[in-house]
């Protein structure tokens, strides 16, 4: 799942699902992930033309982050990659 599924598909060559939302709860997000059979969630800054790169999240991603933290704390998902300076994180959905 990605906020930019076309770009991520072109660069990664993997099937991608668009980040729907906003989700009203972690349970809603978890239901969406199961219904779409999502294996990984890619979180990254919004793609914007900028003279100087300042990685910032979109409003949609900013709303998603607390839900990801909640699912991570319950063991439903787990972080598998993080690059803090670039604000990129990848989560794996646990079976």
pTM for the structure as a whole: 0.83
**How many domains is the chain partitioned into structurally?**
1
Alpha helices in 1-95 (DSSP H): 5-12, 26-35, 59-74
Find the CATH number of the domain harbouring 43.
1.10.10
**Is pLDDT larger for residue 14 or for residue 94?**
94
pLDDT digits (tens, 9 = 90+) for 62-81: 999 999 999 999 999 999 99
Question: Sorting pLDDT into bands at 50, 70 and 90, what band is 95?
Answer: confident
Interhelix angle 59-74/26-35, nearest 10 degrees: 90
Q: Rounded mean pLDDT of 82-90?
A: 90
Question: Sorting pLDDT into bands at 50, 70 and 90, what band is 39?
Answer: very high
**Which residues form the domain of 43?**
5-93
């Amino acid at each position: 799942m990605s906020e930019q599924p076309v770009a991520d598909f072109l660069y990664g060559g993997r099937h991608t699902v668009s980040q729907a939302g906003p989700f009203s709860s972690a349970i809603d997000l978890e239901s969406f992930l199961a219904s779409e059979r999502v294996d990984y969630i890619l979180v990254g800054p919004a793609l914007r033309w900028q003279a100087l790169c300042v990685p910032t999240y979109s409003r949609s991603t900013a709303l998603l982050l607390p839900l990801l933290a909640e699912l991570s704390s319950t063991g439903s998902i787990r972080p598998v990659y993080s690059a803090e300076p670039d604000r990129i994180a990848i989560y794996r959905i646990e079976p």
